Each structure stands twice: as C-alpha cells, then as structure tokens.
Structure 1
Amino acid sequence: MHTNGDHAMNDLMKTLRQRCFAAAAIAAFALNAHAAIGSASAADVTLDGAPADAFAYQDGWNPHAGPMGDTSGFGTAFDAFGTGDFTLLAKYEDSGFPDTSPLTFTFAQAPGGTSGTWSVTNTGSDIITLDLVFAIHAGNQGGAWLFDDQVINPGATETLPGTWQILWTVGNNGSNPAFSNLTLFERDRVTTPVPEPGTYTMLLAGLVVTGVAMRRRNRAH
C-alpha cells in the first residue's frame, strides 16, 4: 500500500531525474555550440617535412562514418586541386590499419591525444602519385588535410614521416578535443615504373652531347 508520502517522494525523484537529463542535454548542446576552428590550419598536419596543401573543417562531421567513410566535410573544398571523387583508402582502428598494399601507414598519439605522428611507406616497386586526404574526427568535429599530387617512392628507406595536431576548440574553456578516429581518402592515383639505371646514363650522355654541341655552335659565331 502506497501512502501519500510515497507518491510525493516518487514525484520528487521523477522531477529530479528530468532536471538532471535536461541539464545534461543543455551541457552537451553548449559544448557543441561553442566549437570553433580556433587556430587550426593546413600546417597542423605534415608529411615528409611539408605542410598539407589545403585544410577543411566542419562542425558535426565524422569522416569515419559509414562503411566507405564520409567525404561531405571537405566536399568541394579541394576541387581546386582536381575534380575527381575521393574514395576510402583506409580507416585506422584500434588494431591499426587494414591491408592497403602496396601503401602501408603508421599512426601514433602523444599523451593527451591531441597530437602525434604518422607515416607512409610504398612497399611496391613503382612510384605512386596521388591526392591523399588525412581526416581526423575529434570532439564532434572533423578536419581534413589534403596532400596534392603526393609522390611516394618505393622502398622501406623512402618512408615519409609525418606529424599531426588538433587545434580546433570546443566548450566554454576553448580546449582542444582529443583524437577520436582517423580516415584516409585518395584520388587520382597514378603508378609509374621506376626508370632503369641505364635510362639515367643515357639521359646524362644526351645532356653532355647537347652541351658540347651548343658550345661549339657558340664558338663558331
């Protein structure tokens, strides 16, 4: 048998729960509402010592979403560098990257999850050139960095080292969100055989002959 006191207590607890849920929802909204690009730029991700060629940022975007990733966050932002469609190259998971041979990737986070390193290695025998997009999801935002016409020479000694950092901000305190996931996209991949050593010898010989001929012609005049 429930007394009036029991009903009153139940009503009070229900009201408190509702207020707690409402407060949590408001806090979550406020966190997202104060997301900002901050000082984020193309220089935040590097490869082989060079910054990205372009950068795109979007609030509420997760490039990792869906089986093929989501490119809507950079949409047409990179069209100045080409007009083809970007396709999924790899998604970084807790266990690492899937097999993307002949390209292989590494990824690491520094303590705090707002910066780290990455690398690209071409384990094949041909030169690979492609538009490569490095896309990070952190907080409820996504950032994408484009490396246009990136050349990746074959061989383990040709590994391209890179760095990354997250500099957009979220929340009232303007903090940088920690890394959530990484997705790589590609476009316009071209494979070129490595020239044989004899090709360089013939080219050098041709340049020498051309130089001698031009010198003789100049003397004749």
Structure 2
Amino acid sequence: MIVCIEGIDGCGKSTQAALLTKYLGAKFFKFPNKDSPTGKLIYEHLEHRWNAKFSEEEKRSVFEEHNLNALIFQALQVANRMELAVELSKLKSKNVVLDRYWPSGYAYGKADGLDGQYLIDLHEYLPQPDLFLLLDVDLKDSSERRPERRDRYEKNPGLLEKVVTNYRMLWQTMAQSQPSKWMVIDARKSKEETTSAINQAIAEWRMRNSET
C-alpha cells in the first residue's frame, strides 16, 4: 500500500512518516525531492532566492499582478512529483510512505489564490496513494512546535491559516466519496497517541481491503 502523510510544518509529519516507514518496512519518499533539479528550484522559491535577480518593480508588475509566483511554484512541484511517478507506479504492490504529495500542492496553491479544481486536475495522472492521512493541528500548536519560521509560508501566519483551512476542506470534500481513503488524525495529542492512531488507521484500511 502507498500511504501519504500530510499536514502543515510543525504537525509532526516527518516524525510520524519516519516511524510509519519503520513500522511497515516501507520505501520512503519525501516531497519535494530537493536533490532533483526541480527540487532545488522549489527550495530557492521558498527561500525567496529564485527571483532575486528581478527588481522590486518587476516583481510587482510581472509576477504579482499575474500571480506568476504561484503558477510557477505549482508547475515546479508537479514536475518534481512526476520525476518519481514511474518509480511509484512500480511500487504499487509494495509498502510506500510519502512525506507529502499532491494534497500539499492543493493546500498551499489555493492559499496563494489558485483555483482548487485546477490544482486537483493538475495531479490527475500521478500515481495515487491508497490512503491519505492528514495530521491535523491548529496553527497555534504548529507555532509552538516550530517557533522559528523558515520559509515564506511559515513567516506569514495569515497565509498559513489558509493552508490549514484548505487541508481540512480538501479532506472533507474527498472523504464524502472515499471516506476510507481520506482520514484525519488528531495530531494535537502526544507523539505516541498520534502514532497509535496512524497504526490503527493502517489496520482498518487493511481489514477493509482484505474483505473486498
């Protein structure tokens, strides 16, 4: 099975993804893959470095007016995921854990003002996980866990609050038709309790699918 673990920074996502990888004896992928050419550009964008050569006027008149920053960022992320699409397809029968995938593109892209359905359609042809887990925390909780804000989203609480809302709305929408595939984990609890809830979700998924 392929399991995607999502959530904002500070939700415990990377910790839980590592624990689940060990628990399942799974192959692990983290997105964005910063070692690829597109990954390097993505991190430059997050750190405000990729368009540093442009003047402030050029940034306002060209990039901000047409929302090119958001569009370019999404294009880079889709390309970054597609780089591993073939490998993921080959691993469909194995245990795989993804630390973020296309839902993060939706949550952050919509916060940047892009259309939600457009963002979903962008990822239509990617290999799809069997189970999507959202580690749900409030912004206050994530801020306490990560007091140092590092990228452009983390430094903007208003923008990050939109990301939290977008994650919740996406899970609510997708769960209407696929409730067993889109599950929310209350990650405000302790690490051990969160791990237990994730393992329970895995067990429930396996039980349902062994019956079909």
* TM norm. shorter chain > 0.5: no
Higher helix proportion, which one?
2
What TM-score bracket applies, with the shorter chain setting the length? under 0.3
| Structure number, greater radius of gyration | 1
Higher strand proportion, which one?
1
Q: Which has the higher contact order (CA 8 A, sep 6+)?
A: 2
